[in-house]
Amino acid sequence: MRRGAPQDQELVGPGPPGRGSRGAPPPLGPVVPVLVFPPDLVFRADQRSGPRQLLTLYNPTGTALRFRVLCTAPAKYTVFDAEGYVKPQSCIDIVIRHVAPIPSHYDVQDRFRIELSEEGAEGRVVGRKDITSVLRAPAYPLELQGQPDPAPHPGPPAGTPPPTTRHFQEHPRQQLATSSFLLFLLTGIVSVAFLLLPLQDELGSQLPQVLHVSLGQKLVAAYVLGEDSSVFVETGSPLCCPGRS
């Protein structure tokens, strides 16, 4: 995905020349909804591990789909797994890293395009979605970050017993963190279950009709699961999604 800078903001990505460029014809035949989260990418120049975002792509259909990630500014980004396949009724995480977090790129909007196509080398494009990307400036000037406190608090005088309230302050925090983790985990499991249920108009399913869900319900479940995934990425505790490629 790291290539020369595109001209006239063309969408450039992996694949044969000319495919996926600006002005590409719309998909022919049935259109598959492209479910991605988050809907827009916001990178922070002061992000501790470097400006990066996790883009989750969902496949609510009953067949495997090929995906490609295109970009108007490929020289500014590294996309891991820029193309591949998504299994039926499953999802895949795509890591996008901003490799040029310099002031001249702050608040400049770029564009990514997610294309879905049928299996095969010349698979028909069945869906596409454009999302915007922007790099935000640090919340504080970089030269002020990492500097020690100019007025550190003096320690207790010699002979003073250590405070006894610290343990009682940290214990509720640990309980709150555990409760939050369990809540996010339960929400993620319920969302995955909704995504794996068949659609209302899907034929050949052995499940009773009461367990068939609508496309709108799957969209809501995908949104909630994406929220959970982003929270777990920020905290360093990945939430596994069954069926990810």
Crossing angle between the packed helical segments 215-235 and 166-196, to the nearest 10 degrees:
150
- Amino acid 95: pLDDT: 94
Average pLDDT over residues 85-92: 92
The Cα 78–Cα 75 span in angstroms is 8
Q: What is the mean pLDDT of residues 158-173?
A: 56
Q: Residues 192-204: what's their mean pLDDT?
A: 75
Residue 198, domain member (yes or no)? no
Is residue 133 scored above 50 in pLDDT?
A: yes
Query: The whole model's pTM is what?
Result: 0.52
What is the average pLDDT value for the chain, to the nearest integer?
75
Sheet holding 65-71, edge to edge: 41-44, 125-136, 110-117, 65-71, 83-86
Nearest CA-CA partner of 60 in 38, 24, 26, 35: 35
In this structure, is residue 154 part of a structural domain?
A: no
Buried b (16+ CB within 10 A) or exposed e, 7-39: eeeebbbeeeeeebeeeeeebeeeebebbbbbe
**What are all long-range contacts of 163-166, with beta carbons under 8 Å and residues at least 24 apart?**
none
Task: Report the domain count for the chain.
Answer: 1
Asked, for residue 184, whether it belongs to a domain, the answer is no
Which residues touch 27 (CB under 8 Å, ≥6 apart)? 124, 125, 126, 127, 128
93 within domain boundaries: yes
Average pLDDT over residues 126-148: 77
The answer on pLDDT for 156 being more than 70 is no
Whether the pLDDT of residue 112 is over 50: the answer is yes
In sequence order, which residues have a C-beta less than 8 Å from that of residue 144 and are 6 or more positions away?
A: none
Instruction: Write the CATH number for 43.
Output: 2.60.40.10
| H-only helix segments in 82-214 | 166-196
127 and 115 Cβ atoms separated by less than 8 Å: yes
Range of the domain at 126: 35-136
- What is the mean pLDDT of the segment spanning 216-223? 79
Q: How confident is the model at residue 65 (pLDDT cuts 50, 70, 90)?
A: very high
State yes or no: pLDDT of 76 exceeds 80.
yes
Q: Report the distance separating Cα 124 and Cα 126, nearest Å.
A: 6
According to the per-residue pLDDT averaged within each range, which of 15-29, 39-53, 89-103, 184-198 is highest?
A: 89-103
Asked, for residue 117, whether it belongs to a domain, the answer is yes
Whether residue 54 is contained in a domain is answered as yes
Asked if the structure places residue 222 within a domain, the reply is no
Query: pLDDT band for position 213 (50/70/90)?
Result: confident
Residue 104 CA to residue 41 CA, distance in Å, equals 18
Q: Does residue 191 form part of some domain?
A: no
Provide the pLDDT for residue 220.
80
Side chain identity, residue 113: R
